[in-house]
Amino acid sequence: MLARGEFKNRKSRPMRKKSPIGPKKRVLILRSGALGDTLMLLPGLAALPNPVEIFVAGRLPGLEFLKPFTSRCLDYESSGWHRLFSENPEPLPRPPWPQADEVIAFSAGPAGRLQPNLEFYFPHAGIHLFPAFPEQGRDLHVALYLAQCLAEAGLTLNPQQAFAVAQQKALLNPDSPQSKTQTLVFHPGSGSGQKNLGAEFWLPLIKTLGRNSGPFKPVLLLGPAEQAMRPYFEKTQTEHGAQIVFCPENPDLIETLKGAALYIGHDSGITHLAAMLGRPSIALFRNSSVTQWRPLGPKVTVIEAQEPLDGVMDQVLWMAQSFLSKENEE
């Protein structure tokens, strides 16, 4: 992982001294990542003053959830964006990006062609390059790190305050009344198999909670990463009794999560989304950093899934009943 300084010592246009980015400025933020990576921008974006025009280029589906906090979101994988990484940049009659006074880019690898190409395509803009994540092993949450980078680039925000608000408030559902549907939502996967507990953990968990949680009906949420698990859960559906929802579009995904009296999942993008929607969430962490990736929201409990798994199951069942008791009281 690169340190910040590695982006600056380059034989290209000298980095100008950073000054506050004032009102009526147009700021382009580049961050290409999966759902959870993209959502980590939200605390910083939500804290920015309205007069600044913010454009974010990233990847779907996470990009959709940034729209309320930006002037415009742009699909990083649409035509033309690859020019930012080409060896021989050429002028474009209609570039896919807007004009910008400042460009803030988060790069997952060496800056390579990105910095000189940004200087080529945005000759009058301030260019601010940062690694996509904090250094490995550093005790710093990714969302707080990104907010610090935005502030370092000159945007007006207090990173610590923005991060604190994200832990206390449902950033993606601040004022809407909660759905009264009675569901328990389980998401048994993530983008990395190393972070996942197997079906032998999830099947008895779903069965136990589904049978002992009164009116709350189990819903099994599966995405593209869980394609291989789908036949198993369909075959055992008579055992676990859960409704299976596979690869819902964003509106249906949001409705499924908003209707959850309780959500249980791994360290995944869907888990981050449920937490930011304010749903009571149990996040199971295995082989990933709680410090850097703890889901942000007002009703989140993290359980580190260490062996033996019987102990993990007991913790999840106890915490689930605690959450559901509170939901019944409300």
pLDDT category of residue 14 using cuts at 50, 70 and 90: very low
Range of the domain at 130: 4-168
Whether residues 191 and 265 share a domain: the answer is yes
Is 169 or 173 the better-scoring residue by pLDDT?
Answer: 169
Flag whether 176 is in a domain: no
Is 215 or 233 the better-scoring residue by pLDDT?
Answer: 233
Whether residues 94 and 137 share a domain: the answer is yes
Calpha distance 245→127 (Å, rounded): 43
**CB-side exposure of 30: number of CA atoms within 13 Å?**
26
Average pLDDT over residues 169-193: 81
Give the pLDDT of residue 219.
94
Give the pLDDT of residue 328.
62
Whether residues 211 and 262 share a domain: the answer is yes
Count CB-CB contacts under 10 A for residue 21: 21
Flag whether 19 is in a domain: yes
Q: How do residues 240-251 score in pLDDT, each as one tens digit?
A: 888 999 999 999
Whether residues 99 and 68 share a domain: the answer is yes
DSSP-assigned states of every residue in 247-313: S--HHHHHHHHHTEEEEEEESSHHHHHHHHTT--EEEEESSS-HHHH---SSSEEEEE-PSPHHHHH
Total domains present in the chain: 2
Q: What percent of the chain has pLDDT over 70?
A: 88
Q: How do residues 100-132 score in pLDDT, each as one tens digit?
A: 999 999 987 666 789 999 999 999 999 999 999
Give the pLDDT of residue 179.
59
Whether residues 160 and 11 share a domain: the answer is yes
Distance between first and last Cα of the chain: 46
Whether residues 24 and 104 share a domain: the answer is yes
Whether the Cβ atoms of residue 258 and residue 173 lie closer than 8 Å to each other? yes
> Which of residues 137, 168, 199 is at a domain's end?
168
Report the CATH number at residue 320: 3.40.50.2000
Report the CATH number at residue 74: 3.40.50
Give the pLDDT of residue 12.
37
Whether residues 127 and 189 share a domain: the answer is no
Whether residues 137 and 275 share a domain: the answer is no
Q: What's the whole-number average pLDDT of the chain?
A: 87
Calpha distance 183→258 (Å, rounded): 10
Whether residues 256 and 153 share a domain: the answer is no
Flag whether 269 is in a domain: yes
Q: How do residues 21-51 score in pLDDT, each as one tens digit?
A: 656 689 999 998 999 999 999 999 999 987 7
Whether residues 109 and 225 share a domain: the answer is no
Strand partners, 244: 220
Whether residues 162 and 197 share a domain: the answer is no
Whether residues 196 and 150 share a domain: the answer is no
Flag whether 112 is in a domain: yes
Average pLDDT over residues 64-91: 92
Average pLDDT over residues 268-286: 96
Flag whether 285 is in a domain: yes
Q: At residue 166, does pLDDT exceed 90?
A: yes
Give the pLDDT of residue 214.
76
Calpha distance 155→56 (Å, rounded): 14
> Which of residues 143, 168, 193 is at a domain's end?
168
Flag whether 174 is in a domain: no
pLDDT category of residue 215 using cuts at 50, 70 and 90: confident
Give the pLDDT of residue 4.
36
Flag whether 161 is in a domain: yes
Flag whether 58 is in a domain: yes
Six-digit token string for 160: 């610590």
Cα 9 → chain centroid: 30
Give the pLDDT of residue 110.
62
> Which of residues 145, 168, 191 is at a domain's end?
168
